[in-house]
Amino acid sequence: MAAISVARSSCGLINGLKVSLRSVTRVKYGAVSATVPQTSLHRSCRWYSVSHLSVKERIDQKRQAALQGGGQQRIEAQHKRGKLTARERVQLLLDPESFVETDMFVEHRCADFGMEQDRNKFPGDSVVTGRGRINGRLVYVFSQDFTVFGGSLSGAHAQKICKIMDQAMTVGAPVIGLNDSGGARIQEGVESLAGYADIFLRNVMASGVIPQISLIMGPCAGGAVYSPALTDFTFMVKDTSYLFITGPDVVKSVTNEDVTQEELGGAKTHTTVSGVAHRAFENDIEALLNLREFFNFLPLSNQDPAVTFALIELITNPLLFCLISHSFFSDRLVPSLDNIVPLESTKAYDMLDIIHAIVDERDFFEIMPNYAKNIVVGFARMNGRTVGIVGNQPKVASGCLDINSSVKGARFVRFCDAFNIPIITFVDVPGFLPGTAQEYGGIIRHGAKLLFAFAEATVPKITIITRKAYGGAYDVMSSKHLRGDVNYAWPTAEVAVMGAKGAVQIIFRGKENQAEAEAEYVEKFANPFPAAVRGFVDDIIEPATTRKKICQDLEVLASKKQVNPWKKHANIPL
């Protein structure tokens, strides 16, 4: 704080120049330090009244001030919390020197409560906005600056965010928000609320047009939480980020519950209990680096096809790496899949083993790995091309569908569909989870979401039934009947209304020899033939060939065109 006002008010051409030069070199490496000379001479004066600076110098000074955010002390305090500053985050997230900042000179307009004073004005206000590149691909970014008024949202702050969102919409590029904000700027009152609403509206308008990602890197409370909630993906940083509507104090006063910030809205809560956040990372750096990795999977907008890594062998630097071979071994056989499904249908296995073995480089970016673990969703690549993967997880609750897993799956499928990402579904589902908890919770309408999502999706859909596909859950899981493009069954597949035991009790009610009846049922239905003879699966394939087949199918389906009937929008059962 002090440093900034000094920088602003310091006079003398040479001095000012020195400061700016020094700061430029410093800021390049992100470690900003307070070595600005202290002259308290005109501290309390408005700078223009005493300044002898040219416009150019004033520009430089403003830029310097903007780069310093809330000042050295606050920056140090931010670091002490284990958090990076808004600018450091942007620098890490984007390719080196690719950040193009906008609205560096914007200041807040509040004139109440002493806010109009010079020391309460910070060029750029409490958010850093602009565009940049991640691995060469365009992205718009805003990064809230906790060092300026705790990152609180002023009208100007909101306006800056809205501006880059509008630009992102016009060119068709994703928006990444790095959230670290104490909430609304209380001094501004309703203007701040309006700001939130402006952002919400843009979040909604951009939904399904450009990918929107939120990374929560500090507090995000009150109305502010709805912006991340509206975006496609919300990631959090462990121990330093919180998301809640009302904090622990209010909770205590209203419901008399004692709860810590971490329990109420920490990363663990939201990635395991509430399902609000999609993934959590250890710290700022890991979060940002992972976000870069995640960004590689996404198309820039709904006008772009799924991202494909180049297949060319690229000769980057003849001396350094002769060549980086880019074969993904698309026709690789995967022998480990031949025996992954246990013979006993009651025995579990890990669907992730199948996914890792099938996708390129065993690289699977799982979404919500710790929430509703009975369904696995995430991104991977097949022969270099991004695909979305949905799989029942037999290891957890037998892989049954329940409320949470249906909602998790549905949202993921809709994202893939919106952004032209083919969906590969691995099915081993014994059905929907029975019970009053589920029925009272509305499994009917929630389960319908997943059904709805798969049915309306027009992207290439490839389904592999690895084992059980029972009852309504069979229909839901990207079945042929929901316009599945290619549906395969492994020899271990069983497509039936229900398991043998239950079926026999109904069909042969009262019959003496239940065991024999069960054997008959198993013989007839606990295999892929009933589905195959009706054409409900296109082929029964050797598991080892699954990768090869999927790669070939995706090649063909790349030109798939399918259009749903015109409608204003569908009415998904929310």
Partner 1 sequence: MNFAFIFHFFCFIILVTLKHINWNKTLNQKWVHVKMADEAVCVGSAPTSKSYLNMDAIMDAIRVTGAQAVHPGYGFLSENKEFAKRLAAEGVAFIGPDTHAIQAMGDKIESKLIAKAAKVNTIPGFDGVVKTAEEAVKIAQEIGYPVMIKASAGGGGKGMRIAWNDEETREGFRFSSQEAASSFGDDRLLIEKYIDNPRHIEIQVLADKHGNALWLNERECSIQRRNQKVVEEAPSTFLDPVTRRAMGEQAVQLAKAVQYSSAGTVEFLVDSKKNFYFLEMNTRLQVEHPITECITGLDLVEQMIRVAKGYQLQHTQDDIPINGWAIECRVYAEDPYKSFGLPSIGRLSQYQEPLDLDKVRVDSGIQEGSDISIYYDPMISKLITYGATRAEALGRMEDALDNYVIRGVTHNIPLLREIITHPRFVSGHISTNFLPEVYPDGFKGHQLEADAKRELLASAAVLYIAAELRSAKQFVLFRVASTPVECSHWELCVELGEERQDVEISKSGTVEMDGAKVEVWGALNLASPLLPLTINGTQRMLQCLSRDAAGVIVLQYLGTLFKVRVLSKLAAELNSYMPEKVSEDTSSILRSPMPGTVVAVSVKPGDTVAEGQEICVIEAMKMQNSLTAVKQAKVKSVHCKPGETVGEGDLLVELE
Active site residues: 222-223, 472-473
Residues 474 to 533 in contact with partner 1, rule: CB under 8 A: none
Of 161, 410, 174, 176, nearest to 303 (Cα)? Answer: 174
261 binds partner 1 (CB under 8 A): no
- The torsion angles phi and psi of 333, rounded to 5 degrees, stand at -90, 150
- The torsion angles phi and psi of 494, rounded to 5 degrees, stand at -135, 110
Query: What binding mask, one character per residue, do residues 187-206 give for partner 1 by CB under 8 A, x or -?
Result: --------------------
| Nearest-angstrom CA–CA distance, 62 and 90 | 19
Of 465, 480, 477, 481, nearest to 540 (Cα)? Answer: 465
Please report, for residues 398, 413, 428, the alpha-carbon distance to residue 431 in angstroms, rounded to integers and kept in the order given: 9, 19, 9
| Nearest-angstrom CA–CA distance, 435 and 444 | 12
Residues 22 to 51 in contact with partner 1, rule: CB under 8 A: 29-31
Rg (CA), the chain: 28
Residue among 13, 201, 204, 289 that touches partner 1 (CB under 8 A): 289
Residues 127 to 186 in contact with partner 1, rule: CB under 8 A: 133, 135-138, 171-173
Residue among 384, 441, 472, 530 that touches partner 1 (CB under 8 A): 384
- Kindly tell me which of 448 and 550 has the beta carbon lying closer to partner 1: 550
Instruction: Give the type of residue at 285.
Output: I
- The torsion angles phi and psi of 463, rounded to 5 degrees, stand at -125, 135
Please report, for residues 145, 186, 208, the alpha-carbon distance to residue 246 in angstroms, rounded to integers and kept in the order given: 21, 15, 29
- Kindly tell me which of 29 and 440 has the beta carbon lying closer to partner 1: 29
Residue among 205, 250, 323, 437 that touches partner 1 (CB under 8 A): 323
Q: How far is the CB of 68 from partner 1 (least distance, A)?
A: 17
Instruction: Give the type of residue at 194.
Output: A
Q: How far is the CB of 48 from partner 1 (least distance, A)?
A: 36
Q: How far is the CB of 321 from partner 1 (least distance, A)?
A: 6
| Nearest-angstrom CA–CA distance, 125 and 163 | 14
Is residue 277 within 8 Å of residue 215, measured between CB atoms? no
Strands 100-102 and 375-382: unpaired
The tokens for 268 are: 């663990």
- Kindly tell me which of 105 and 329 has the beta carbon lying closer to partner 1: 329
283 binds partner 1 (CB under 8 A): yes
Query: What binding mask, one character per residue, do residues 343-372 give for partner 1 by CB under 8 A, x or -?
Result: x---------x--xx--xxx----------
- Kindly tell me which of 138 and 572 has the beta carbon lying closer to partner 1: 138
Residue among 190, 254, 320, 563 that touches partner 1 (CB under 8 A): 320
Q: How far is the CB of 282 from partner 1 (least distance, A)?
A: 7
Is residue 138 within 8 Å of residue 130, measured between CB atoms? no
Is residue 403 within 8 Å of residue 438, measured between CB atoms? yes
293 binds partner 1 (CB under 8 A): yes
Please report, for residues 24, 111, 311, 391, the alpha-carbon distance to residue 124 in angstroms, rounded to integers and kept in the order given: 17, 17, 43, 45
Please report, for residues 108, 345, 500, 502, 503, the alpha-carbon distance to residue 515 in angstroms, rounded to integers and kept in the order given: 78, 16, 10, 12, 12
- Kindly tell me which of 92 and 519 has the beta carbon lying closer to partner 1: 92
Residues 47 to 86 in contact with partner 1, rule: CB under 8 A: 79, 82-84
Please report, for residues 33, 57, 106, 345, the alpha-carbon distance to residue 19 in angstroms, rounded to integers and kept in the order given: 12, 11, 22, 72
Q: How far is the CB of 235 from partner 1 (least distance, A)?
A: 12
Residue among 13, 314, 497, 556 that touches partner 1 (CB under 8 A): 314
Instruction: Name the residue with tokens 């914007």.
Output: 106
337 binds partner 1 (CB under 8 A): yes
Instruction: Name the residue with tokens 């296109």.
Output: 538
Q: How far is the CB of 136 from partner 1 (least distance, A)?
A: 3
For residue 265, the surrounding DSSP H or E stretch is: helix 261-265
Residue among 308, 458, 513, 564 that touches partner 1 (CB under 8 A): 308
Q: How far is the CB of 327 from partner 1 (least distance, A)?
A: 6
Residues 89 to 118 in contact with partner 1, rule: CB under 8 A: 91-92, 95-98
- Kindly tell me which of 102 and 296 has the beta carbon lying closer to partner 1: 296
322 binds partner 1 (CB under 8 A): yes
For residue 555, the surrounding DSSP H or E stretch is: helix 546-557
268 binds partner 1 (CB under 8 A): no
395 binds partner 1 (CB under 8 A): no
Residue among 71, 124, 299, 430 that touches partner 1 (CB under 8 A): 299
- Kindly tell me which of 88 and 402 has the beta carbon lying closer to partner 1: 88
Residue among 200, 226, 309, 508 that touches partner 1 (CB under 8 A): 309
The size of the interface with partner 1 (CB under 8 A), counted in residues, is: 77
